Amino acid sequence: MQNWGKGITGLFSNMQDIRSTHLDWLMLGLMQYGIAFALYYLPLPQSKTIAWLLVFGGWMNAFPYLVRGLFGINAFQLNGPPKQMICALLGLISVTALILAFSLLLIGWLRFL
């Protein structure tokens, strides 16, 4: 952290979770780029569905880290107050979207073999 930014860390509940959010978005963005490249050369009939699942899953997958870092809401547990459950459900839906997208990719590309 730069010297000029040390005062900002007090605004957030957990700075390590904010860093995790950033790294998660970088990795998932690279994943989306790689899959878009692959789908260009090996198109599948359900490419548009796969793309939407990857975009939603990629952006929302870091959401539990973000709300824990900014607001202190533990979005990794499906118990607690309603806002915690909603945040955890959004994280669960994003993981499900990514798993479904990768499953559709794998099944679709295995048909080429």
pLDDT digits (tens, 9 = 90+) for 38-62: 999 999 999 999 999 999 999 999 8
Check residue 9 and give its pLDDT.
60
14: left (phi over 0), alpha (psi -120 to 50) or beta: beta
State the Cα–Cα distance between residues 111 and 109, nearest whole angstrom: 5
pLDDT of 75-111, one tens digit each? 888 888 999 999 999 999 999 999 999 999 999 999 8
Confidence at 10, pLDDT banded by 50, 70, 90? low
6 occurs within a structural domain: no
Q: What's the domain count of the chain?
A: 1
pTM of the model: 0.81
Domain span at 40:
11-110
Q: Where are the alpha helices (DSSP H) in the chain?
A: 15-41, 47-60, 63-71, 82-110
